């Protein structure tokens, strides 16, 4: 998992909006750093790290929503959509890997069983052991287990394709609509509004 970057420049004497911009821009840059890998669904680790970065960006936006202008919710929803589609993709990857692991374990157990039959003279003559081996390798139960297991792999693989297509569609829509520029403008407007309010309040105090 990619580690979150340290946010620098936080100042206690500045507005919440000023510090929120520093945090959110850092989290935005973390998410965009994984953009070069999104066009290949085989980049499992990088896309998963993008999801983690998107989650951090979303949580930062939600945390500072009170200090940001209207429209923050729509930005949050765009990031949330990316996060959820990659989450579905990751869930499929985890399930597929688990089923592959089960298949490997089953194969190892079958191999060990066949070795025990083949190499143990107490199991009978070579001809008798050969018959036992043949019966074990053509077991209907083993065939049914394999069929069921790999049918699940096929289903989850289809889920993975659907999840990736939904993700890449949402991602390209974000990029084509200049999500980065919209978010940075949103943050700049929040800081400008906060500073204007602070100056107005300061002027009133001076007048008093």
The model's confidence at residue 203, banded by pLDDT at 50, 70 and 90, is low
Which residue is associated with the tokens 């009978």? 124
Name the residue with higher pLDDT: 150 or 79. Answer: 79
Name the residue with higher pLDDT: 27 or 149. Answer: 27
What confidence tens digit (pLDDT) does each residue in 180-202 have? 999 999 999 999 998 888 777 76
The model's confidence at residue 86, banded by pLDDT at 50, 70 and 90, is very high
The model's confidence at residue 58, banded by pLDDT at 50, 70 and 90, is very high
Tell me the C-alpha distance between 84 and 171, whole Å. 12
Mean pLDDT for the stretch of residues 22-37: 97
Is 52's pLDDT higher than 80?
yes
Domain ranges of the chain: 16-207
- pTM beyond 0.75: yes
In 3D space, the residue among 92, 85, 89 whose CA is nearest the CA of residue 172 turns out to be: 85
């Amino acid at each position: 998992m990619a580690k979150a970057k340290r946010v620098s420049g936080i100042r206690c004497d500045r507005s919440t909006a000023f510090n929120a911009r520093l945090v959110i821009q850092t989290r935005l840059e973390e998410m965009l750093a994984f953009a070069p890998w999104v066009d290949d669904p085989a980049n499992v680790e990088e896309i998963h790290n993008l999801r983690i970065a998107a989650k951090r960006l979303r949580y930062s936006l939600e945390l500072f929503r009170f200090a940001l202008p209207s429209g923050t919710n729509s930005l949050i929803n765009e990031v949330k959509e990316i996060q959820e589609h990659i989450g579905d993709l990751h869930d499929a990857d985890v399930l597929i890997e688990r089923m592959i692991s089960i298949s490997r374990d089953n194969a190892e157990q079958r191999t060990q069983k066949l070795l025990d039959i083949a190499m143990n003279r107490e199991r009978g003559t070579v001809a008798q052991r050969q018959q036992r081996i043949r019966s074990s390798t053509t077991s209907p139960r083993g065939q049914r287990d394999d069929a069921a297991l790999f049918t699940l792999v096929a289903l989850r693989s289809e889920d993975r394709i659907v999840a990736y297509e939904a993700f890449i569609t949402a991602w390209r829509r974000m990029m084509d609509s200049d999500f980065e520029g919209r978010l940075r403008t949103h943050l700049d407007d929040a800081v400008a509004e906060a500073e204007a309010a602070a100056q107005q309040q300061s002027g009133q105090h001076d007048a008093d």
